[in-house]
Structure 1
Amino acid sequence: MRRVAAIAGLVVLLGALLGLAPVPPAVLAASPKLPDGKVVIDTRPVPYFGIGEANRDRFGKLEFLGGLELLPRDRHVGGLSGLVVSEDGASFIAVTDNGLWVSGEIRQDEAGRPLGLTPVDVAPILGPDGTPLVLAGRGDTEAVTIDRSGETPRLLVSAEGHHSVYAFGYPLDTSQPAVPLSLPKAVKRLRYNKGLEAIAASSPDGPLGGTLVAIAERGASFDDDMQGFLIGGAVPGTFTVRRHDDFDATDAAFLSGGDLLLLERRFNLRHGIGMRIRRIDGDKLKPGAVIDGETIVEAGFAHQIDNMEALAVHTTASGDTILTLLSDDNRSILQRSLLLRFRLADN
């Protein structure tokens, strides 16, 4: 029986490493102590986006600025699934799919090209009772956004499984426990591992009036459109996003003009690995709408991508719109954590 239990535990852990299943709380509790402090992340440059195309920097409507492969010195610091960056792009806050905050500084040049990371701060994300979310079986945090609709800004974090959105103060204080948001009942009916993968808080000065836009990774079945939610703000309700070409939603971010960028990921035997970003007209985000969007970039095996799950946007002092993308390596030796930077070439 001990041998069967050991094999079962190994299967669960291998499945988690490959992104096939979440790690149960009991297994995590028995694992080494979660990091809480400084962690060094070594980096390796990603000088070009198209494999074998060192002289090409234009891809769709994006210009590749540069990238980094992230090599953390702590095995827990992986699975990067959500991201926000500061207004100047020099600092970031990320969440991981094992319930951690990861925050730090990005060394960059004047164009926003990433050059490296300073040692990052890592801490468990605390649930409403102060217990780390991951130890309560709620640590599959997938996205983060900054909500500026209230008197003071706050960070909103979505979690899969027990589908939730949690609020935290901003600037980040990792000792703060989560405050759960009230969500539409339909959110709780989403598939267990296909929950609110993409969230983005709209501008309080825009037509959505600070509404939180949340999009499920996939619909009720493989062929269904993706369910979207307009939570709080001026226009609460639901909408759907057309799903085609087997892509799933993984993150979203608003542009300064009010349009929404939707990051999508694909991985299957038919198409292999893929990444796509669609630009959705912000004026079409209304209750009952069925929306699509213009593809501004699509990439696959011929490009430097992995399991692309996180997207953040900032604007430089010169007015350039910069996109920062992160990949979720599922803490697997078969995958990579990538930080990629692009400039939106066609506004």
Structure 2
Amino acid sequence: MSAFFSKFIRTAAAGLAAAVLSFSAPVSAESLLDEAKQVRVKTRPIETFHIGHSNTEFGKLTFLGGFEILASDRKTGGLSGVISLDDGNRLLAVTDNGHWVAATVEQTDEGAPTGLSDLRYAVLLGADGKSLRARWGHDTEALTLNATGLYVSAERNHAVYHYEWPLLTGDERMLGQLSLPKALDRLPRNTGIEALAAGPAGGLLDGKLIAISETTPSDEHDFLGFILGSDGAEEFSIKRHDRFDVTDAAFLPDGDLLLMERRFNMKDLIGLRLRRLPGSDLKAGAALDGEILLEADFNYQIDNMEALAVHQNAAGDTILTLLSDNNRSLLQRTLLLRFRLNEQ
């Protein structure tokens, strides 16, 4: 989350007081976070994406539906990274204050979300069994999964944590941390790795992670990206446009990278953008730009959109799940939105 966005929300709250994996996981998630704390949850449906309009087609995307998540415990707010499991029936998310959040997504055969149940959360633990919060390593922003386990990024101290999979109880300790490149030291502590995506199995990036910085000093600078692997790190860049910042990324079935961006400032107000980057171009030294699939502003049902997951349903459709980070604020909403990508 950008420092400006956080400051704006705190200011607005004071004024008021005075006047969200790239693919479905290859294992079952039926017992996910089995011993975690359960939370009461309700949902409020979102029937149209474009406020006041009934259209569902937005370029290559079809809006399937969504809802606002109303949970009884604020610790399940602040959703910043997500993976979609079991053909979209389950999700695992991470919050920006160091919690796992799991839930069942009730959906139609098409993938349209109709409700949420079995919501539960647990604290992310370090290798010593203490919470990440105990060592100020809890500013967790992104989540991804590959054959070697779960990976979570933290932007405050530029870290990528490794956890085993599956998370059967929620009490699993961190396995370790990845060695990260010195180039990350060029980024401010609160604008580090905001997007993390596991390379597609069987492809050139199999076994590697793609990590992307949240922002840049200005639109004249590019986003900093890294290809992280056991053989070290390679750097690439992504062109920044129109004061948007990066919030998440996930690979599409064809190997392209889907980038989610958010904008929030006094000039532009709130915005969401989805950009598709050619996976074949993702290599050391590359300068990427890509195709805009979706752009939305305050006229659409969005909030502080931070988490993105991609899965394929039983029919082979590519489904996008977007979550918003409400900063645990009464002025914001936790939204779950679903879209179908109609052209690969």
Do both proteins adopt the same fold according to a TM-score greater than 0.5, normalized to the shorter chain? Answer: yes
Is 1:206 paired with 2:197?
A: no
Report 1:136-285 matches (<5 A). Answer: 136-148=135-147, 153-173=148-168, 174-178=170-174, 179-221=176-218, 223-232=220-229, 236-285=233-282
Could you give the per-residue CA deviations for residues 265-293 of structure 1, whole angstroms, max 9, x where no partner exists? 00111111000000000011111111011
User: Could you say which residue in structure 2 is the equivalent of 1:18?
Assistant: 9
Which letter maps to 1:48?
A: T
User: Could you say which residue in structure 2 is the equivalent of 1:5?
Assistant: none
Shift of 1:300: 0.5
Cα distance in structure 1, aligned partners of 2:150 and 2:259: 19
Shift of 1:236: 3.9
Report 1:302-341 matches (<5 A). Answer: 302-341=299-338
Cα distance in structure 1, aligned partners of 2:269 and 2:316: 36
Alignment partner of 2:75: what SS?
coil
Cα distance in structure 1, aligned partners of 2:186 and 2:49: 38
Shift of 1:220: 4.3
Cα distance in structure 2, aligned partners of 1:233 and 1:254: 20
Could you give the per-residue CA deviations for residues 114-153 of structure 1, whole angstroms, max 9, x where no partner exists? 11111212100012221111232111110000122xxxx4
Is 1:82 paired with 2:81?
A: yes
What is the number of residues matched between the two proteins? 314
Report 1:27-42 matches (<5 A). Answer: 36-42=36-42
Identity score, percent: 51
Is 1:44 paired with 2:44?
A: yes
| Contact residue 17 and residue 330 of structure 1 kept, 8 A | no
| Contact residue 211 and residue 236 of structure 1 kept, 8 A | no
User: Could you say which residue in structure 2 is the equivalent of 1:113?
Assistant: 112
| Contact residue 160 and residue 196 of structure 1 kept, 8 A | yes
Cα distance in structure 2, aligned partners of 1:117 and 1:16: 31
User: Could you say which residue in structure 1 is the equivalent of 2:19?
Assistant: none
Which one is further off, 282-291 or 166-175? 166-175
Shift of 1:36: 4.9
| Contact residue 77 and residue 326 of structure 2 kept, 8 A | yes
Alignment partner of 2:196: what SS?
strand
Cα distance in structure 2, aligned partners of 1:215 and 1:101: 21
Larger relative contact order, structure 1 or 2 (CA cutoff 8 Å, min sep 6): 2
Shift of 1:221: 4.6
Shift of 1:302: 0.9
Q: TM-score, normalised by structure 1?
A: 0.87
Question: Per the alignment, do residues 216 and 239 of structure 1 end up closer, same or farther by CA in structure 2, a change over 3 Å counting?
Answer: same
Alignment partner of 1:118: what SS?
strand
Give the gaps of 5 or more residues in structure 2: 1-5, 12-34
| Contact residue 208 and residue 233 of structure 1 kept, 8 A | no
Which one is further off, 261-270 or 186-195? 186-195
Is 1:66 paired with 2:65?
A: yes
Shift of 1:222: 5.7
| Contact residue 198 and residue 208 of structure 2 kept, 8 A | yes
Cα distance in structure 1, aligned partners of 2:62 and 2:41: 26
| Contact residue 208 and residue 234 of structure 1 kept, 8 A | no
| Contact residue 78 and residue 337 of structure 1 kept, 8 A | yes
Question: Per the alignment, do residues 331 and 320 of structure 1 end up closer, same or farther by CA in structure 2, a change over 3 Å counting?
Answer: same
| Contact residue 196 and residue 214 of structure 1 kept, 8 A | yes
| Contact residue 219 and residue 240 of structure 2 kept, 8 A | no
| Contact residue 40 and residue 119 of structure 2 kept, 8 A | yes
Which one is further off, 175-184 or 82-91? 175-184
Alignment partner of 1:76: what SS?
helix
User: Could you say which residue in structure 2 is the equivalent of 1:104?
Assistant: 103
Question: Per the alignment, do residues 281 and 195 of structure 1 end up closer, same or farther by CA in structure 2, a change over 3 Å counting?
Answer: same
Which one is further off, 283-292 or 132-141? 132-141
Alignment partner of 1:187: what SS?
helix
| Contact residue 48 and residue 66 of structure 1 kept, 8 A | yes
Q: TM-score, normalised by structure 2?
A: 0.87
| Contact residue 97 and residue 140 of structure 2 kept, 8 A | yes
